[in-house]
Amino acid sequence: MPFIKVYIHFVWSTKNWVPYLATKEIRQTFWQHIKENAKEKGIFIDFVNGHADHCHCLVLLGSDQTISKIMQLIKGESSFWINHNKIINQKFEWQDEYYAVSVSESGLVNVRNYIRNQEEHHAHKTFQEEYDDFIVKYGFQRFKD
């Protein structure tokens, strides 16, 4: 049996950054569903939270899991669930792109706190500003298809 401890911080947004998840109640229900559904699929979500137009998820990878498969399972099922259960009054969609960065053992507490404090964080900073900060902080490059 392999012993693996690889944490990934995922961040993704709603389609066109529409604030579909407008209320705290909707968000809490949605994050809880994402966590429960992931558990059923063998995905360990350490922490999940976000704001009206995006989601942060700290995931501990399993030995047979890939970043793209985790995103496919979480994003695909959660958008189906929110639409099927008519949680909001319009069609919900996630943006195709996402961030995925590894988190060292020494950084886990900071990342958990960052994810936990999304409500407070976004009282002072838009997701666009956060997005731009991540591009710079992690050295991501924008490519055109």
Residue segments in the chain with a per-residue pLDDT below the cut of 50: 145
> What domains appear along the chain, each with residue ranges and CATH number?
7-137 (3.30.70.1290)
pLDDT tens figures, 40-82 = 999 999 999 999 999 999 999 999 999 999 999 999 999 999 9
For residue 144, the model assigns a pLDDT of: 56
**In sequence order, what DSSP letters do the residues of 10-57 get, joined into one string?**
EEEEEGGG-----SHHHHHHHHHHHHHHHHHTT-EEEEEEEETTEEEE
For residue 112, the model assigns a pLDDT of: 97
Nearest to 8 by CA among 75, 60, 54: 60
Kindly report the pTM of this predicted structure: 0.87
How far is it between the farthest Cα atoms of the chain? 46
By DSSP bridging, strand 54-60 and strand 44-51 are antiparallel
